[in-house]
Amino acid sequence: MTAGRPITEEDLHAYVDGALDARRQVEVEEYLSTHADAAHRVAAYAGQRATLRAALAPIAEEPVPDRLNLAHLIEARRHGRTRSWLSPAGAGPWRSMAAAIALVLVGGVGGWSMHGMTAGRAPMTPVAMLTQEAMDNYRVYAADRTRPVEMPASDQEQLLQWVSQRLDRKVAVPDLSAAGYRFMGGRLVATPHGPGAMFFYDDSAGNRIAMLVRPMKLDGDAPMTEHRKDAVGGVTWANSGLGYSLVADAPPQALHPLADEARRQLRAKI
């Protein structure tokens, strides 16, 4: 337990939403570093939030219909025409809005239900937590054929400066072109343990792999371990306080040679 008031479930949800002040955020991060079960729940919350954001992004980016403009609604109310926006012809936007609200509510309920589902499980190791975070983010962004990365490979130097600043650690990108994988670019992602950087690669057939990197407060040096969940495989390790997880829609055994090469290059660069 941290000094001060206890960490509550509301604090964990606020942490995922980025709604805590700086002091409380530090307290929650300290709590998560010593309470693996809570860290696992928060990882699940973050994954659900990222999935919902990706799913609802097209709706959020749509312009507000003129008939739902505030001035229009006020004018309609004055003239007794408020029911017009609830007519079948105007129901489309409201159905979309209702669906969005329902998804958000389901996400919140689902996040809380994870408490009961995970409370009886053995605590996850820091490496296993990193793997889960990598797989959750991979599922969200690898499927995006429009903009899986925030900054493309052409801005690699700027990308590395940006993520190194946010992670407060020097970050490097391995070159996997000899194995047939082209560097696509990268993005910042949220994890229960602070920001992480995710780098994407693809081959000539369009197959994608990704590597998540973030600081490790525990297990700062860890050997490679293989993981698999459903169709996603991963190889995870840590070196000098940075954790890495290489993930893809492939068996972990197939990823291991790539992970070996990535680790070799990163040790030489950092």
pLDDT in tens, 168-209: 999 999 999 999 999 999 999 988 888 999 999 999 999 999
Q: How far apart are CA 14 and CA 95, in angstroms?
A: 28
- Please tell me the predicted confidence (pLDDT) of residue 121: 53
Give the number of C-alpha atoms closer than 13 A to the C-alpha of residue 194, restricted to the C-beta side.
Answer: 21
- Please tell me the predicted confidence (pLDDT) of residue 43: 79
Q: How far apart are CA 40 and CA 124, in angstroms?
A: 7
Helix (H) or strand (E) holding 46: helix 36-60
pLDDT tier, 97 (very low <50, low <70, confident <90, very high otherwise): low
At residue 11, the 3 state secondary structure works out as helix
Answer yes or no: is pLDDT of 90 > 60. Answer: no
Q: How far apart are CA 75 and CA 171, in angstroms?
A: 56
Model pLDDT for residues 5-40, shown as the tens digit of each residue: 888 878 888 888 888 888 888 888 888 878 877 777
Model pLDDT for residues 209-250, shown as the tens digit of each residue: 999 999 998 888 999 999 999 999 999 999 999 999 999 999
- Distance of CA 211 to CAs 92, 115, 145, 176, Å? 40, 28, 18, 11
Amino acid in position 241: G
The whole model's pTM is what? 0.58
Answer yes or no: is pLDDT of 114 > 50. Answer: no
| Average pLDDT for the chain | 80
Q: How far apart are CA 145 and CA 136, in angstroms?
A: 17
Q: Tokens 């990823």 label which residue?
A: 255
